[in-house]
């Protein structure tokens, strides 16, 4: 799947030094997202990868301006088509949300309103952004449900979410997100809550519709397998910062950051002998060093040196990618991490 031509035109979304701080009274401020920068060009597919708690979902909510105003401080710049989204008023943001930037959420069980029919939920987005009448919105909802591969859409528009399976509901959420053909779609772990077989189907639907509408895609996931089939560029996050940013081919061929290497090594392989144990990354994401003191990944890292726990690594260009590591993996064989 060749990615669209990248890098020549202006970025559609440009995130610069994004920092999100959660501060509750009486407790220490937490930087859930720390100095994150990346670009998404029109039509480009970008992955944001990391474990739970790495700050990827908070990044997406910050881009959409959906973080609670009380308790969360968002700094930096999120410019979308030349406008800084962080400066927009609520009214201006509302015109952007759903129409220019849209979002698919993780949990299809709770992201649909249980007492409103799916047709109304899909249709009201058109009513909001295009001023469509109820009838037009319904007709378009049928059309959209058909597009996302829901059989018998005429009947399904009148049904309630609990009458649909998880996969169907996620298709409905995709239909809602793409209703106004946004220029950017943010998908926050859109397949995590689904069975593996359904995951593949839903991903195919997402892929096809994104390709059809020419939307750019920000794919937020912990699953490198999803990224491999979908993204042009990949940003790997750890503890709120990007640790490695590369195009897909380079990242999978030669992971440089030990964390990326660990993520790749933890994917079970078909050709490994039966019964051989999985290769997890040792430790848990709670064992972090604050970035101000060194590398947050150092406590779990096999390549740790004295420098890693005494100095903060910066994101620096390294062999055609950006890397935040003093002691990266050897370049030639990615197998070293196995």
Distance CA 72, CA 88 (A): 17
Q: Scan residues 25-44 and list those touching other proteins (CB under 8 A).
A: none
Q: Scan residues 58-97 and list those touching other proteins (CB under 8 A).
A: 64, 66, 94-97
Q: Using the rule CB under 8 A, is 151 a contact of other proteins?
A: yes
Q: Decide whether 52 or 163 has the Cβ nearer to other proteins.
A: 163
Residue 187 — φ and ψ, nearest 5°?
-115, 110
Among 54, 102, 235, 260, binds other proteins (CB under 8 A): 102
Q: In what order do the strands lie in the sheet with 13-22?
A: 30-40, 13-22, 72-80, 83-84
Sign of the CA dihedral running 319, 322, 323, 324: positive
Distance CA 187, CA 219 (A): 5
Size of the site for other proteins (CB under 8 A): 50
Among 21, 37, 128, 247, binds other proteins (CB under 8 A): 128
**C-alpha torsion angle, residues 281, 287, 288, 293 (rounded to 10):** -120
Strand partners, 80: 13, 83
Q: Using the rule CB under 8 A, is 133 a contact of other proteins?
A: no
Q: From the CB of 98, what's the least distance to other proteins, in Å?
A: 3
Per-residue contact flags (x/-) with other proteins for residues 309 to 328, judged by CB under 8 A: --------------------
Q: Using the rule CB under 8 A, is 224 a contact of other proteins?
A: no
Among 165, 266, 305, 331, binds other proteins (CB under 8 A): 165
CA distances from 185 to 9, 40, 58, 217, 248 (A): 19, 11, 16, 5, 19
Of 75-83, 168-176, 246-254, 259-267, the window that binds other proteins (rule: CB under 8 A) is 168-176
Q: Are the CB atoms for 78 and 62 separated by under 8 Å?
A: yes
List residues binding other proteins (CB under 8 A): 1, 64, 66, 94-99, 102-103, 105, 107, 110-117, 124-125, 128-129, 149-152, 159-160, 162-165, 167-168, 171, 173, 176-177, 179, 197-198, 201, 204-205, 207-208, 211
């Amino acid at each position: 799947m060749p990615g669209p031509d990248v890098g020549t035109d202006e970025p559609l979304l440009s995130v610069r030094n994004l920092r999100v701080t959660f501060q509750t009274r009486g407790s220490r401020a937490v930087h859930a997202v720390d100095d994150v920068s990346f670009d998404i060009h029109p039509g480009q597919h970008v992955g944001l990868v990391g474990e739970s708690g790495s700050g990827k979902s908070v990044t997406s909510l910050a881009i959409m301006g959906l973080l609670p105003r009380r308790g969360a401080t968002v700094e930096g710049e999120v410019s979308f088509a030349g406008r800084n989204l962080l400066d927009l008023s609520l009214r201006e943001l509302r015109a952007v949300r759903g129409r220019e930037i849209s979002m698919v959420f993780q949990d299809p069980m709770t992201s649909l309103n249980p007492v409103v029919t799916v047709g109304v939920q899909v249709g009201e987005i058109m009513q909001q952004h295009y001023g469509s009448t109820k009838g037009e919105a319904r007709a378009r909802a049928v059309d959209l449900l058909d597009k996302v591969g829901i059989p018998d859409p005429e009947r399904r528009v009148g049904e309630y979410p609990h009458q649909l399976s998880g996969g169907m509901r996620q298709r409905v959420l995709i239909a809602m997100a793409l209703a106004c053909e946004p220029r950017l779609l943010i998908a926050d772990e859109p397949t995590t809550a689904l069975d593996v077989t359904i995951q593949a189907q839903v991903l195919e639907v997402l892929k096809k519709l994104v390709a059809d509408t020419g939307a750019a895609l920000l794919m937020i996931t912990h699953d490198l397998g999803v990224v491999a089939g979908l993204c042009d560029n990949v940003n790997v996050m750890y503890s709120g910062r990007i640790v490695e940013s590369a195009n897909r081919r380079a990242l999978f061929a030669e992971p440089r950051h030990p964390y990326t290497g660990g993520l790749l090594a933890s994917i079970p392989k078909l050709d490994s002998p039966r019964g051989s144990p999985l290769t997890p990354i040792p430790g848990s994401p709670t064992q972090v060093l604050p970035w101000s003191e060194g590398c947050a990944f150092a406590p779990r890292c096999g390549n740790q040196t004295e420098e890693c726990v005494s100095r903060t690594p910066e994101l620096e260009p390294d062999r055609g990618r950006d890397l935040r590591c003093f002691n990266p993996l050897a370049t030639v064989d990615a197998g070293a991490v196995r």
